[in-house]
């Protein structure tokens, strides 16, 4: 009996020891997992610190560069900057060079109003070297180490990179540019008041609205009147708060669809190329910036292979007509573009157009001398008509490209205007269809 009791006690102790060992092993594994997690967090924090240090370095470099360029010359001339010109670049040094040269060709006389910034997304050494080879621009670099994942299968991640660049890069580059103008304008104001504040310590004064003018990507050229156009349009941004942005791009700006370089249109569709907006608008939109697809005569694409992989290039982009008529926009009356004025103006020209119905609308339109109005029933019907004419047939969020109140306007081979009118467009414009 004693032997049995001793064996039972021994067995209980062994079981307790095994259980204790298992518990210890589990605790050790848990501890190892916690250590691994902490190590992962440490690595992530180190990467975040590295990224922030690099961004901080870029901002410091920007400040030094601005100081090096002698901002006093701007103060001497007392010229208020209109906008920063920001060229977004990535990995195409030859395209960047062509774009920069296009800007410099017309920027010289207005350089103090439109300082040039190149913002590189990524670390391509050729792009960085090319940007730094110019002494009349400010270079900034945006390094993003986070992987890009598309929301839907088959989507190009490049569009997500572009959207991220527009927003994240804006946090460093665009805002830095805007802050530069904020500081510059405030300094000029302080100078008039006899206060010798430094530029970097100055604060935004009431009544000033700084803007950013984007050439969006490194594959665009500009027209001779590009800067004059944006300076005149800046007044519209101040006067009419219903205008979100001013763009220099026309999706239906192919040479066969344009005629008059003096005419401007409002649109409910954001073209997303060569655009300018106020800082107030940017502050409102930046927290809502989309993950992808953030989305004229004064700017022109020349790329054939990029984020779109050449999509639509030959049909829609290669034939774009770059305006070659220098227009003195500041001397022109653009008040017709103010919202209330424009609705009346646009409704009147649409109303006067000759309605065309039925089949073979292209042929029918060709036989009419004046403007033509063609009504489409829905998106699929619009796409059929658009393809017949050869204009963009794409929609985004229920809006055709370039449309205003559902109306898409373009020239067709002659000065005649073609108005593709939506099923509810006439009502929105206050036109009673006879």
What are the backbone dihedrals phi and psi of residue 388, each rounded to the nearest 5 degrees, phi first?
-65, -40
Buried b (16+ CB within 10 A) or exposed e, 347-366: beebeebeebeeeebbeebe
Distance CA 131, CA 118 (A): 7
The pLDDT tens digits of the residues spanning 288-300 come to: 766 555 443 344 4
Distance CA 72, CA 56 (A): 25
| Cβ-contact 400, 410 below 8 angstroms | no
Radius of gyration of the chain, Cα coordinates, nearest whole angstrom: 30
Query: Is 263 contained in some domain?
Result: yes
Same domain for 330 and 350, yes or no, is no
Distance CA 308, CA 105 (A): 28
Query: Is 29 contained in some domain?
Result: no
If one counts every other C-beta atom within 10 angstroms of the C-beta of residue 125, the result is: 9
For residue 374 the two structure tokens come to: 């063609």
Distance CA 422, CA 404 (A): 10
In CATH, what number is assigned to the domain containing residue 127? 3.90.550.10
In CATH, what number is assigned to the domain containing residue 379? 3.10.180.20
**Nearest partner of 414 among 257, 253, 264, judged by Cα:** 257
Q: Which domain holds residue 355?
A: 339-428
Query: Is 264 contained in some domain?
Result: yes
| Cβ-contact 211, 237 below 8 angstroms | yes
What are the backbone dihedrals phi and psi of residue 255, each rounded to the nearest 5 degrees, phi first?
-55, -30
For 155-168, what is the mean pLDDT? 53
Same domain for 146 and 84, yes or no, is yes
| Cβ-contact 168, 287 below 8 angstroms | no
Same domain for 234 and 272, yes or no, is yes
Same domain for 178 and 248, yes or no, is yes
| Cβ-contact 235, 330 below 8 angstroms | no
DSSP states of 223-287? -TTHHHHHHHHHHHHHH-TT---EES--TT-BGGG---TT-----SS---SSEEEEHHHHHHHGG
If one counts every other C-beta atom within 10 angstroms of the C-beta of residue 265, the result is: 14
Same domain for 245 and 345, yes or no, is no
Query: Is 248 contained in some domain?
Result: yes
Q: Which of 301, 334, 367 is the last residue of a domain?
A: 334
Query: Is 21 contained in some domain?
Result: no
The pLDDT tens digits of the residues spanning 279-332 come to: 777 778 777 766 555 443 344 444 444 444 455 567 777 778 888 888 999 999
Contacts of 280 by beta carbon, 8 Å cutoff, 6+ apart: 209
Same domain for 323 and 344, yes or no, is no
Distance CA 302, CA 218 (A): 10
Q: How far is CA 365 from CA 205, 227, 259, 389, 417, in A?
A: 54, 36, 17, 10, 10
For 378-392, what is the mean pLDDT? 94
Q: Which of 290, 311, 334 is the last residue of a domain?
A: 334
**Nearest partner of 118 among 161, 62, 52, judged by Cα:** 62
Distance CA 386, CA 392 (A): 6
Query: Is 119 contained in some domain?
Result: yes
Same domain for 165 and 140, yes or no, is yes
| Per-residue pLDDT at 9 exceeds 80 | no
Q: Which of 290, 317, 334 is the last residue of a domain?
A: 334
Q: Per-residue confidence at 147, pLDDT binned at 50, 70, 90? A: low
Domain count, the chain: 2
The C-alpha angle 61, 220, 63, rounded to 5 degrees, equals: 10
Extended beta strands in 136-285, E state: 137-142, 211-214, 220-222, 246-247, 275-278
| Per-residue pLDDT at 105 exceeds 60 | yes
Query: Is 18 contained in some domain?
Result: no
| Cβ-contact 81, 210 below 8 angstroms | yes
The span from the first CA to the last CA of the chain, in angstroms, equals 115
Which of 31-35, 124-128, 161-165 ranks highest by mean pLDDT?
124-128
Pairing of strands 372-375, 211-214: unpaired
Query: Is 161 contained in some domain?
Result: yes
Same domain for 199 and 271, yes or no, is yes
**Nearest partner of 74 among 212, 164, 185, judged by Cα:** 185
**Nearest partner of 375 among 427, 432, 426, 430, judged by Cα:** 426
SS3 174: helix
pLDDT at 60: 72
| Per-residue pLDDT at 388 exceeds 60 | yes
Give percent above pLDDT 90 in the chain: 26
pLDDT at 172: 40
The C-alpha angle 332, 338, 342, rounded to 5 degrees, equals: 95
| Per-residue pLDDT at 350 exceeds 90 | yes
The pLDDT tens digits of the residues spanning 236-259 come to: 888 898 998 888 888 898 888 998
SS3 340: helix
What's the predicted TM-score (pTM) here? 0.69
Same domain for 317 and 347, yes or no, is no
If one counts every other C-beta atom within 10 angstroms of the C-beta of residue 1, the result is: 5
Same domain for 248 and 382, yes or no, is no
Same domain for 193 and 136, yes or no, is yes
| Per-residue pLDDT at 95 exceeds 70 | yes
Same domain for 270 and 226, yes or no, is yes
């Amino acid at each position: 009996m004693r032997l049995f009791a001793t064996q039972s006690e021994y067995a209980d102790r062994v079981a307790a020891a095994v259980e204790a060992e298992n518990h210890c092993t589990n605790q050790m594994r848990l501890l190892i997992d916690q250590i691994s997690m902490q190590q992962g967090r440490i690595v992530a924090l180190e990467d975040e610190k590295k990224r922030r240090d690099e961004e901080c370095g870029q901002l410091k470099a920007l400040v030094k560069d601005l100081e090096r360029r002698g901002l006093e010359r701007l103060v001497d001339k007392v010229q208020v900057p209109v906008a920063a010109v920001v060229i977004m670049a990535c990995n195409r040094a030859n395209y960047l060079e062509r774009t920069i040269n296009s800007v410099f060709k017309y920027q010289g006389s207005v350089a103090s109003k439109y300082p040039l910034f190149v913002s590189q997304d990524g670390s391509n050494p050729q792009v960085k070297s090319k940007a730094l080879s110019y002494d009349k621009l400010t270079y900034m670099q945006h390094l993003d180490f986070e992987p890009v994942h598309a929301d839907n299968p088959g989507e190009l991640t490049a569009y997500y990179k572009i959207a991220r660049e527009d927003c994240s890069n804006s946090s460093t580059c665009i805002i830095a540019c805007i802050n530069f103008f904020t500081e510059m304008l405030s300094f000029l104001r302080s100078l008039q008041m006899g206060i010798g504040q430094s530029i970097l310590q100055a604060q935004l004064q009431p009544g000033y609205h700084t803007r950013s003018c984007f050439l969006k990507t490194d594959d665009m050229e500009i027209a001779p009147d590009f800067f004059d156009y944006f300076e005149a349009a800046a007044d519209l941004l101040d006067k009419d708060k219903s205008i979100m942005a001013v763009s220099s791009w026309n999706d239906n700006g192919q040479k066969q669809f344009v005629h008059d370089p003096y005419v401007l249109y409002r649109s409910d569709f954001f073209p997303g190329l060569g655009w300018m907006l106020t800082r107030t608008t940017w502050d409102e939109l930046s927290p809502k910036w989309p993950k992808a697809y953030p989305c004229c005569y004064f700017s022109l694409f020349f790329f054939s292979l990029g984020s779109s992989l050449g999509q639509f290039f030959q049909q829609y982009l290669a034939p774009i007509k770059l305006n070659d008529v220098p227009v003195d926009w500041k001397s022109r009356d653009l008040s017709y573009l103010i919202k209330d004025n424009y609705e009346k103006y646009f409704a009147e020209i649409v109303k006067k157009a000759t309605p065309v119905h039925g089949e073979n609308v292209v042929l029918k339109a060709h036989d009419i001398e004046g403007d033509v109005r063609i009504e489409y029933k829905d998106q699929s019907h619009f796409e059929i008509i658009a393809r017949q004419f050869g204009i963009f047939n794409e929609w985004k969020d229920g809006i055709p490209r370039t449309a205003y109140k559902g109306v898409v306007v373009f020239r067709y081979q002659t000065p005649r205007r073609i108005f593709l009118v939506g099923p509810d467009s006439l009502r929105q414009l206050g036109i009673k269809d006879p």
